[in-house]
């Protein structure tokens, strides 16, 4: 039975020094209890307490990282079954397979498409992160060369896939600084790959024979060897079975704290489907439940983009709205005669409004006020987009130094603040703009600031 936060608190030093990253020992204890912190963060825990807390302090699903730098992918660390309970933490990584049996044109094509699959969305860069380099013939030199070429030319993180231990040893040895995922330890090679993962300090995938019992045997053996960074591939390739296994693994890890299944899982979608479209649908199912790594046969924008969007939606904290930074945004090269608009910092509002202004081609200043990520109507109802708050923001943000006129356009849904805002701005003309963003373009083209 898991210890409660209070039980854990009793074992901590209670000095509230804050070195663990939270201000009090009680807060740290609560984070440990919910799997959001690791015991090593507190340098002052006694050895005795460490022993008692060892099993309690580890997150129920082991967090680990594949790769380094910009394309590093964090997996695991999840603490809830359902996103609405709290939030999912580490978005799954997307990988495409590139094999040693592919010709140069095919490899170059995948590298090029990997580079193309970069999308700007709500201020974020969405992109896949990994290549799964597959050894098709046991040629260690060719395998290592391809993995190095992919790493050097893309910077992407790597999964090294081979059934040949020597080929894996050569490639993992040469690329260990890049922290690739070694794939995969099964019953036949678990000792050798366990030793390799330990030697090169890289994460290791285990591949079952289609049963969870086989996975448990592998993870127990490897954890007994001191290898903690494991990723589970159950070996199943039938959709319904994989789906059931993912739920069983997540439930066992979270609800029963069953350590042998407390690792992130990977979905080898390219071996479950007949074409990329089917792979995409399968990967989409497991973005929601509960794949941490998706392996597909290729990167194609029409396949990758919807998966990236789904990932963004599923892994956005539902309790924390996405926001744009408060400030003045010049759009279409505005000058001192350009119109001034104000809106909230809910990122969707910001991107829709700025997009409409941009497409109007009217040079404009867009002032974005911090409303804690609330939309205009919600912020207005909560008193965060009132005449007073907007007035204070406009008076302080510096827009008055950028324009010669004294007009400001407010969102149509916030018409009710116009009187109070005029008082706050002292002599400025407050103009009520359209309610719908789609009308902004037409409105701006006809608007003359005074
Ligand atoms: Fe308490 Fe340890 Fe955190 Fe300091 S570092 S506040 S002693 S839990």
Q: Give the ipTM of the model, two decimals please.
A: 0.98
Tell me which residue has its CA closest to atom 1 in ligand 1: 25
**Is residue 360 domain-resident?**
yes
User: Residue 51, SS3?
Assistant: helix
CATH of the domain at 52: 1.10.15.40
Same domain, yes or no: 309 and 333: no
Distance 63 CA to ligand 1 centre (A): 22
Q: In whole angstroms, give the CA distance from residue 143 to residue 14.
A: 53
Same domain, yes or no: 44 and 74: no
Same domain, yes or no: 440 and 355: yes
- Closest by alpha carbon to 131, among 173, 52, 152, 225? 152
How large a percentage of the chain has pLDDT more than 70? 98
Strands 157-161 and 181-185: parallel
**Is residue 320 domain-resident?**
no
**Is residue 90 domain-resident?**
yes
**Whole-prediction pTM value?**
0.76
Distances 371 to 327, 343, 442 between C-alpha atoms, Å: 12, 9, 26
Same domain, yes or no: 119 and 158: yes
Q: In whole angstroms, give the CA distance from residue 441 to residue 439.
A: 6
Distances 237 to 92, 128, 390 between C-alpha atoms, Å: 19, 22, 56
- Over range 29-55, report the average pLDDT: 82
Q: Is 28 in the pocket of ligand 1 (CB under 6 A)?
A: yes
The total of structural domains in the chain comes to 3
Closest atom of ligand 1 to 28 CA is 8
Distance 34 CA to ligand 1 centre (A): 17
**Is residue 321 domain-resident?**
no
Closest atom of ligand 1 to 29 CA is 8
Same domain, yes or no: 298 and 363: no
- Closest by alpha carbon to 185, among 159, 151, 219, 150? 219
Distance 38 CA to ligand 1 centre (A): 12
pLDDT of residue 51: 79
Task: Report the binding-site residues for [4Fe-4S] cluster.
Answer: 17, 20, 25, 42
Q: In whole angstroms, give the CA distance from residue 53 to residue 109.
A: 50
Lowest mean pLDDT among 33-37, 102-106, 222-226: 33-37
Distance 127 CA to ligand 1 centre (A): 37
Unique residue bearing structure tokens 């050895």: 47
Same domain, yes or no: 249 and 124: yes
Structure tokens of 438?
């789609």
Same domain, yes or no: 261 and 132: yes
- Closest by alpha carbon to 114, among 303, 312, 313, 316? 303
For the chain, the 3-state helix, strand and coil shares in percent, each to the nearest 5, are: 45, 15, 35
For the cut 90, the answer to whether the pLDDT of residue 319 exceeds it is no
What residues have CB less than 8 Å from 283, skipping those under 6 apart? 94, 267, 269, 291, 294, 296, 307
Mutate to test the pocket of ligand 1, among 8, 10, 15, 26 (most ligand atoms within 8 A of CB): 15
Same domain, yes or no: 190 and 296: yes
pLDDT tens digit sequence for 151-169 = 999 999 999 999 999 999 9
CB atoms within 10 A of CB 115: 14
Task: Find residue 119's DSSP bridge partners.
Answer: 126
> What is the maximum span of the chain, computed from C-alpha positions, in angstroms?
81
Structural domain that includes position 25: 5-57
pLDDT of residue 48: 84
Q: In whole angstroms, give the CA distance from residue 288 to residue 267.
A: 12
pLDDT tens digit sequence for 249-287 = 999 999 988 999 999 999 999 999 999 999 999 999 999
**Is residue 176 domain-resident?**
yes
pLDDT tens digit sequence for 100-155 = 999 999 999 999 999 999 998 766 889 999 999 999 987 999 999 999 999 999 99
Same domain, yes or no: 216 and 279: yes
Same domain, yes or no: 120 and 260: yes
pLDDT tens digit sequence for 406-437 = 999 999 999 999 999 999 998 899 999 999 99
CATH of the domain at 300: 3.20.20.20
CATH of the domain at 411: 3.40.50.11600
For the cut 90, the answer to whether the pLDDT of residue 340 exceeds it is yes
Length, in residues, of the chain? 450
Same domain, yes or no: 332 and 437: yes
pLDDT of residue 83: 86
- Over range 33-61, report the average pLDDT: 80
Same domain, yes or no: 337 and 296: no
Structure tokens of 126?
């969405």
CB atoms within 10 A of CB 279: 25
Structure tokens of 403?
């324009």
What residues have CB less than 8 Å from 60, skipping those under 6 apart? 35, 78, 79, 253, 254, 257, 262
Q: In whole angstroms, give the CA distance from residue 184 to residue 349.
A: 45
pLDDT tens digit sequence for 56-75 = 666 789 999 999 999 999 99
DSSP structure class, residue 19: T
Mean pLDDT score of the chain = 93
| Phi, then psi, of 151 in degrees rounded to 5 | -65, -45
pLDDT of residue 152: 97
The model's confidence at residue 1, banded by pLDDT at 50, 70 and 90, is very low
Task: Report the binding-site residues.
Answer: 17, 20, 25, 42, 343, 349, 373-376, 437
Unique residue bearing structure tokens 């580490």: 90
Distance 31 CA to ligand 1 centre (A): 12
How large a percentage of the chain has pLDDT more than 90? 82
For the cut 90, the answer to whether the pLDDT of residue 31 exceeds it is no
pLDDT of residue 317: 82
Q: In whole angstroms, give the CA distance from residue 337 to residue 4.
A: 62
Q: Is 44 in the pocket of ligand 1 (CB under 6 A)?
A: yes
Task: Find residue 146's DSSP bridge partners.
Answer: none
pLDDT of residue 55: 63
For the cut 50, the answer to whether the pLDDT of residue 90 exceeds it is yes
Structure tokens of 83?
């996103």
């Amino acid at each position: 039975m898991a210890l409660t936060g209070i039980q854990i608190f009793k074992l901590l030093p209670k000095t509230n020094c804050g070195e663990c990253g939270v201000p009090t020992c009680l807060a740290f204890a609560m984070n440990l209890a919910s799997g959001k912190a690791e015991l090593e963060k507190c340098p002052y825990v006694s050895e005795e307490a460490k022993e008692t807390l060892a099993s309690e302090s580890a997150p129920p699903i082991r967090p680990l990282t594949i790769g380094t730098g910009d394309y590093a992918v964090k997996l695991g660390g999840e603490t809830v079954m359902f996103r609405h309970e709290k939030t999912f933490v580490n978005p799954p990584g997307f990988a495409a397979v590139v094999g040693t049996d592919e010709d140069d044109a095919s490899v170059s094509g995948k590298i090029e498409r990997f580079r193309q699959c970069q999308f700007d969305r709500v201020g974020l860069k969405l992109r896949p992160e990994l290549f799964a380099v597959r050894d098709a013939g046991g040629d260690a030199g060719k395998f290592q060369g391809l993995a190095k070429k992919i790493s050097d030319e893309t910077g992407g993180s790597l999964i090294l896939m081979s059934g040949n231990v020597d080929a894996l040893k050569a490639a993992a040895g040469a690329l260990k600084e890049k922290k690739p995922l070694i794939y995969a330890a099964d019953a036949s090679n678990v000792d050798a790959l366990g030793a390799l993962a330990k030697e090169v300090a890289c994460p290791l995938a285990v591949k079952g024979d289609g049963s969870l019992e086989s996975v448990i045997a592998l993870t127990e053996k490897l954890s007994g060897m001191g290898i903690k960074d494991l990723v589970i591939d159950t070996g199943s390739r039938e959709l319904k079975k994989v789906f059931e296994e993912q739920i069983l693994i997540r439930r066992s890890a979270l609800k029963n704290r069953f350590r042998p299944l407390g690792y992130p899982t990977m979905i080898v979608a390219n071996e479950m489907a007949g074409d990329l479209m089917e792979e995409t649908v399968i990967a989409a199912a497991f973005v929601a439940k509960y794949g941490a790594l998706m392996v597909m046969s290729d990167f194609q924008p029409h396949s990758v983009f919807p998966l990236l969007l789904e990932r963004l939606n599923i892994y956005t904290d539902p309790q924390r709205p996405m926001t744009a930074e408060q400030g003045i945004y010049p759009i279409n090269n505005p000058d001192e005669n350009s119109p001034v608009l104000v809106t909230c910092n809910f990122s969707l509002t910001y991107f829709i409004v700025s997009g409409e202004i941009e497409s109007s081609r009217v040079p404009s200043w867009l002032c974005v006020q911090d409303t804690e990520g609330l939309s205009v109507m919600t912020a207005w109802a909560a008193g965060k987009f009132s005449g007073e708050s907007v007035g204070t923001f406009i008076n302080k943000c510096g827009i008055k130094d950028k324009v010669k006129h004294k007009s400001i356009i407010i969102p149509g849904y916030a018409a009710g603040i116009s009187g109070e805002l005029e008082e706050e701005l002292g002599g400025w003309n407050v103009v009520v703009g359209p309610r719908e963003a789609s009308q902004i373009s037409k409105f701006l083209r006809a608007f003359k600031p005074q």
